[in-house]
Chains A and B, each alone.
Chain A
Amino acid sequence: MSDTNKVIDARDTFCPGPLMELITHMKQAEVGETLELLSTDEGSGNDVPEWVNKVGHELVSSEKIDGVWHIFIRKMK
Chain B
Amino acid sequence: MRILIVGGGTGGTILANNLARRLASEIRSRKVKLTMLSASDKHMYQPGLLYVAFGQMTPDQLYRDQQSLLEPGIDFHVDPAEEFQLDNNKVITKSGKTHEYDMLVIATGSRIAPEQIPGMSEGADTFYSEAGAVKMFKRLREIEEGTIAVAVGVPHKCPIAPVELVFALHDYFTAKGIRDKIKIKYHYPIGRIHTIANVATWAKPEFDRMGIEYETLFNVKEVDPENKVVRSEEGTETKYDMLIAIPPHTGMEVVEKNNLGTGGWIPTDRHRLTMEGYDNVYVLGDTTNLPVSKTGSAAHFEAEVVAENIASIIKIGIPVRDYDGKVYCFIETGHDSATHAMFDYKNPPDLKPSSKPMHWFKMAYNQMYWSSVRGLL
Q: Interface of A with B (CB < 8 Å)? A: 9-10, 12-21, 23-24, 27-28, 43, 47, 50-51, 54-55
Contacts and interface: CB of A to CB of B under 8 A. Distances in A.
Contact of B195 (A9, A16, A50, A54): A16
Given A15-B327, A15-B349, A20 B217 contact: no
A24 B154 contact: yes
B357 to A, nearest CB: 24
Nearest to B293: A15
B291 A16 contact: yes
A10 B291 contact: yes
A17 B189 contact: no
Most chain B C-beta atoms within 10 Å of own C-beta, residue among A10, A27, A28, A50: A27
A14 B196 contact: yes
A43 B197 contact: yes
A16 B219 contact: no
A9 B291 contact: yes
B219 A55 contact: yes
Interface string B238-278: 00000000001000000000000011000000000000000
A43 B348 CA distance: 14
Given A15-B343, A16-B294, A23-B189, 4 more contacts: A20-B195, A24-B154, A27-B248, A54-B234
B233 interface: yes
B308 to A, nearest CB: 22
Most chain A C-beta atoms within 10 Å of own C-beta, residue among B154, B219, B345, B349: B154
B177 interface: no
29 contacts: A12-B345, A12-B346, A13-B291, A13-B325, A14-B349, A15-B159, A16-B154, A16-B293, A16-B294, A17-B190, A18-B291, A19-B195, A20-B189, A20-B190, A20-B195, A21-B291, A23-B189, A23-B219, A24-B154, A24-B155, A28-B262, A47-B190, A47-B191, A50-B191, A51-B190, A51-B191, A54-B234, A54-B235, A55-B217
Classify the secondary structure of B's interface with A: loop
Contacts, number: 75
Interface of B: 116, 154-155, 159, 189-191, 195-197, 217, 219, 233-235, 248, 262-263, 291-294, 325, 327, 343, 345-346, 348-349
B114 to A, nearest CB: 14
Given A13-B291, A14-B348, A27-B248, A19 B190 contact: yes
B136 to A, nearest CB: 24
Contacts of A12: 291, 325, 345-346
A28 B263 contact: yes
A20 B155 contact: yes
B217 A51 contact: yes
B84 to A, nearest CB: 20
A27 to B, nearest CB: 7
A57 B56 CA distance: 43
